[in-house]
């Protein structure tokens, strides 16, 4: 089975993430999407607790396609910092029956020269690059909205609505007044 590994902080996951996951499935780029929240941010950025971000990703997955989108906690079992290559190889080792491709946004392409073993990732895990509004277009992929988790966190801090930026399941968990 062809699986897209879609990693990120997901703090919180938003409609841009949901659209990318849906597009990968709806266009049959892959048969499954595995959301892989980062256990610890590579640049030591402060994140909500890992279990909370897993919960939010599960809510988004349920809103999009619960049968074909899974949330994987592999990074909690890996040494830190967990480089993308290590995560991908751990998944490939644990699930040899699958073929994995890494999902990356156009907004990180200019940073891959700083990634650990990017050339190896390209060779072993055939990245699927998705476009993002405000960045150069990507051949064969639409550009997804430039929604940001940072904007959502700021809106929540300012007690402003976010239901138009996240899926309904995520909104029920994070919107002002929602149980946390």
Q: What pLDDT, on a 0 to 100 scale, did the predictor assign at position 81?
A: 81
The span from the CA of 143 to the CA of 105, in Å, is 9
Q: By three-state DSSP, how is residue 67 classified?
A: coil
Q: What pLDDT, on a 0 to 100 scale, did the predictor assign at position 180?
A: 41
> Where would I find the beta strands (DSSP E) of the chain?
2-8, 32-37, 69-71, 99-105, 128-132, 143-144
Please, are residues 164 and 29 in contact by the beta-carbon 8 Å criterion?
A: no
CB atoms within 10 A of CB 146: 12
Signed CA dihedral, 93, 95, 97, 99: sign only? negative
**pTM check: above 0.85:** yes
Ranges of the chain with pLDDT below 70? 42-44, 176-180
Q: What pLDDT, on a 0 to 100 scale, did the predictor assign at position 82?
A: 83
Domain ranges of the chain: 2-174
Q: What pLDDT, on a 0 to 100 scale, did the predictor assign at position 178?
A: 54
Domain at 2-174: CATH code:
3.40.50.620
């Amino acid at each position: 089975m062809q699986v897209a590994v879609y990693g990120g902080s997901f703090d919180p996951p938003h409609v841009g993430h949901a659209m990318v996951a849906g597009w990968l499935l709806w266009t049959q780029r892959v048969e499954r999407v595995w959301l892989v929240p980062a256990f610890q941010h590579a640049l030591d950025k402060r994140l909500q607790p890992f279990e909370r971000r897993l919960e939010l990703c599960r809510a988004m997955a349920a809103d999009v396609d619960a049968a074909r989108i899974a949330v994987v906690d592999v990074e909690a079992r890996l040494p830190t910092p967990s480089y993308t290559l290590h995560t991908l190889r751990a998944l490939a080792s644990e699930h040899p029956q699958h073929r994995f491709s890494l999902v990356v946004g156009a907004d990180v392409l200019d940073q891959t020269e700083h990634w650990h073993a990017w050339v190896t990732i390209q060779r072993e895990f055939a990245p699927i690059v998705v476009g993002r509004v405000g960045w150069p277009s990507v051949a064969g992929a639409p550009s997804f909205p430039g929604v940001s988790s940072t904007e959502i966190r700021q809106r929540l801090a300012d007690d402003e609505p976010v239901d138009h930026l996240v899926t309904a399941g995520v909104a029920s968990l994070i919107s002002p007044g929602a149980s946390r």
